[in-house]
Amino acid sequence: MNNIQLEWITMAAGIALVFIGLWGILTQKSILKIIVGFSLFDTGTHVILVSIGYIKNRTAPILDEAVDASQAASQVVDPVPQALVLTAIVIGLGITALMLSFALQLKKKNQSLEISNLKDLKW
């Protein structure tokens, strides 16, 4: 019981979110729920990335009174995955807004939001 690390628990939650999001994208019929599933998939990926960079008993990568500047390399967690996830979250919002505008155009052209009615590219 004392051997369970914090990052295993959060990584398991992230992997579960990724698979729930994938299940939503593959089985739902309405386009808005497919976009909700994509947003969950995105959130799960970010949780996995940040929990890879965690080291036990260390603190956030900000150098102030708690962490001395000369000993920073032995007291902070990894700052590189956090920097990557920071930009990834903002890009995820931009892509979701793009997908929603495409959904509005689809509704205007085909009068329906069920993907079983979109047969243009089927053989």
Partner 1 sequence: MLTLIFALVLSLIVIVLGIVAVQHPKVSVAIIAAGVVSLFASVMYLLLAAPDVAMTEAAIGSGLSTIIFFYVLNKIRRQDG
Partner 2 sequence: MVKKIIILVVLLVLAMMFWNMFSGIPVQNVLPEVSEYYAKNEPAEVGAANLVTAVVVTYRGLDTLGEVSILFLSAAIVGLLLGFQSKTEKRKLRKTSELLLTAAKILTPVIVMLGVYVFINGHLTPGGGFQGGAIIAAALVLALMADPLRKISHGFISFVESTSGFIFVFIGILEIFLAGGFLDNSILPLGEFGAILSAGAIPIIYSFIGLKVGAELSSIVSNMQEAQNITEYE
List of residues contacting partner 2 (CB under 8 A): 5, 11, 15, 19, 22-23, 26-27, 52, 55-56, 60-64, 69-70, 72-73, 76, 78-80, 82-84, 86-87, 89-91, 93-95, 97-98, 101-102, 104-105, 108
Residue span 34-63 as binding mask against partner 1, x where in contact by CB under 8 A, dash where not: -xxx-xx--x--xx--xx--x---xxxxx-
Q: Which is nearer to partner 1, 57 or 70 (CB)?
A: 57
The entry of partner 2, partner 1, none near residue 72 (CB within 5 to 8 angstroms by kind) is: partner 2
Residues 8, 89: Cα–Cα separation, whole Å = 22
Find out whether 77 and 58 touch, Cβ atoms under 8 Å: yes
Q: Which is nearer to partner 2, 32 or 93 (CB)?
A: 93
Find out whether 12 and 39 touch, Cβ atoms under 8 Å: no
CB of 57 to partner 2, least distance (A): 10
CB of 120 to partner 1, least distance (A): 20
The entry of partner 2, partner 1, none near residue 10 (CB within 5 to 8 angstroms by kind) is: partner 1
Backbone angles phi, psi at 114, to 5 degrees: -90, 135
Q: Please, what is the end-to-end C-alpha distance for the chain in angstroms?
A: 55
Angle, alpha carbons 109-112-118 (nearest 5°): 75
Residues 9, 48: Cα–Cα separation, whole Å = 10
